[in-house]
């Protein structure tokens, strides 16, 4: 079973992404315009499932000055106006379940989203037996593949 996480890219960089022609599994996609544009560019022939469930967690304004530490700081000390970490954790679990369902039935599952959600997903996938990178954050347009280890 394979799960691919693809980080959204701004419109200005879409031309650098290669298209994957032909049918394939459903692509899960965050509702951010950059995520939708990225999914449509890379997977033009696939069904794209856009849901708020796959949206970036709202980290609040307190941590925008330190993007590399923002996710960790938010998990420890969620600021005013930030999404509750428990709510984001629930969304990550639900998204993981959906990705696993797709990978079991169609062999390949894809999530296109922002870097914070993808980093949380990477932690979760590694915790449940998938192998793939999780220590560093995602760059725009970066793709990471996670494989289940029996």
Inside any domain, residue 12: no
Cα distance between residue 122 and residue 136, in whole Å: 10
List, for residues 28-62, the tens digit of each pLDDT value. 999 999 999 999 999 999 999 999 999 998 876 65
Q: What percent of the chain has pLDDT over 90?
A: 50
Inside any domain, residue 8: no
List, for residues 118-131, the tens digit of each pLDDT value. 999 999 999 999 98
What is the token pair recorded at 121?
């997903």
Element (H, E) at 95: helix 85-106
Closest of 144, 138, 143, 104 to residue 125, by C-alpha: 144
Element (H, E) at 147: strand 143-148
Q: What's this model's pTM, rounded to 2 decimal places?
A: 0.87
Widest Cα–Cα separation across the chain:
45
Q: Identify which has the larger pLDDT, 111 or 17.
A: 111
Inside any domain, residue 6: no
Inside any domain, residue 9: no
What is the total count of domains within the chain?
A: 1
CATH number of the domain at 73, please: 3.40.50.1240
Inside any domain, residue 120: yes
Inside any domain, residue 4: no
Give the residue carrying structure tokens 């005013």. Answer: 80
Inside any domain, residue 59: yes
Inside any domain, residue 49: yes
99: domain range?
Answer: 25-148
Residues 6+ apart with CB under 8 A from 10: 34, 140
List, for residues 54-93, the tens digit of each pLDDT value. 999 887 665 555 556 676 777 767 777 778 888 888 999 9
């Amino acid at each position: 079973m394979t799960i691919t996480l693809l980080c959204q890219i701004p419109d200005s960089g879409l031309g650098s992404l290669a298209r994957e022609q032909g049918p394939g599994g459903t692509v899960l996609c965050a509702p951010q315009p950059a995520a939708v544009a990225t999914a449509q560019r890379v997977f033009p022939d696939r069904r794209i499932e856009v849901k708020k469930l796959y949206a970036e967690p709202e980290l609040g304004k307190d941590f925008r000055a330190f993007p590399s530490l923002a996710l960790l700081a938010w998990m420890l000390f969620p600021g005013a106006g930030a999404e509750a970490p428990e709510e984001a954790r629930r969304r990550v679990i639900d998204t993981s379940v959906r990705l696993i369902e797709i990978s079991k039935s169609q062999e390949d599952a894809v999530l296109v989203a922002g870097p914070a959600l993808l980093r949380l997903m990477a932690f979760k996938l590694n915790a449940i037996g998938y192998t793939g990178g999780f220590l560093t954050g995602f760059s725009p347009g970066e793709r990471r593949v996670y494989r289940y280890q029996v």
